[in-house]
Amino acid sequence: MKFIQNCNRFIGETDSKQVITAWLEAAIVKHLSRKFSHDNRSILTWEELSNTNQYVRKYREIDGLFSSPEGLIYVEVKASLSKSTFKKGKTQINENLKLLATIDPNVKAILVMADCRCYDPTFGYAKDYIEEEKTSSELYKNIEGLKYPESFYGTSKWLWLLNEADVIELANIYGPPQEDQIQEY
């Protein structure tokens, strides 16, 4: 399906943000796989009733899906701490969590936001805004650093903030970003 969608797409040089984002997604999946069982499925598929009363198959890619004793854990990874990335990530979490809750009502969602300016200074940074939004809304519980939370009870949405030191630590553990880590589907 991805091949068909991309067959007429311009293929140019990859930019550093793509490389860094792909690396971060892979590093987070490896990191979480140390504690939780990784589910390799990365495409959500469902059918919706269209305006013409026909069912239309829809697809959406997800960054990570894991099994835990408390239920499924869905992970969305962002390599920027910008306002727009935060808003987009929250929207993705809400939409995908609603879909995944039909499979497992105990599903938890983690929005991972990392400060990757150490690899590309053009990544956005609005940590104060994110902290303010997080404080004003009790929907997200916070995870900071590379340690796993003891339990995911209490809420279905988590915000995992990684600072530059955490990103560098991930690179020390799993290797730095490299262009060949971008996956073509």
* Residue 98 CA, distance from chain mean position: 15
Range ranked top by mean pLDDT from 11-15, 19-23, 69-73:
19-23
On the question of pLDDT at 184 being above 70, the answer is no
pLDDT, tens digit, 9 for 90 and up, residues 50-85: 899 999 998 888 899 998 888 889 999 999 999 999
Instruction: State the pLDDT confidence band at 91, using cuts at 50, 70 and 90.
Output: very high
**pTM, full prediction:** 0.83
For the chain, list the domains and their CATH numbers. Answer: 16-178 (3.40.1350)
For the segment 26-40, the average pLDDT, to the nearest whole number, is 92
On the question of pLDDT at 180 being above 60, the answer is no
